[in-house]
């Protein structure tokens, strides 16, 4: 379960547990049906907020804007086949 304690505070909150279950599912998919790729699920539980935070709606909007800007070849993924300079591509990978 150490892999599930993302913030290393020696507790596993509901969102950490949710992420851990997603991680287990993706490991199973890697072994059993890799051609289908990974599943991505947002944490459905309430998470603590801090001043100046981005909420899930903000993160969704930012993601939509980034994919719309950089995804140019119609495969709905940002990759070297898109019209993107190497510096920006590498920045997104980091």
pLDDT tens for each residue of 33-53? 999 999 998 888 776 667 777
Stretches where the chain sits below pLDDT 70 are: 1, 47-49, 94
Q: How many CA atoms lie within 13 A of 63 on its CB side?
A: 9
DSSP structure class, residue 93: H
| pLDDT score at 92 | 74
Spatial CB neighbours of 22, under 8 Å, sequence gap ≥ 6: 39, 40, 41
Asked whether the CA dihedral 13, 15, 20, 25 is positive or negative, the reply is positive
**Which of these, 34, 35, 7, lies nearest to 20 by C-alpha position?**
7
Q: How far is CA 10 from CA 3, 13, 47, 70, 79, in A?
A: 11, 10, 17, 39, 37
Instruction: State pTM to two decimals.
Output: 0.53
Per-domain residue ranges of the chain: 1-48, 49-94
């Amino acid at each position: 379960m150490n892999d599930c304690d993302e913030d290393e505070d020696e507790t596993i909150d509901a969102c950490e547990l949710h992420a851990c279950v997603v991680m287990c599912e993706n490991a199973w998919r890697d072994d059993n049906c890799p051609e289908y790729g990974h599943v991505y699920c947002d944490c459905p539980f309430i998470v603590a907020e801090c001043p100046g935070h981005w909420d899930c709606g903000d993160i969704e909007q930012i993601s939509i804007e980034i994919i719309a800007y950089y995804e140019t070849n119609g495969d709905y993924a940002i990759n070297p086949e898109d019209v993107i300079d190497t510096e920006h591509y590498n920045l997104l990978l980091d």
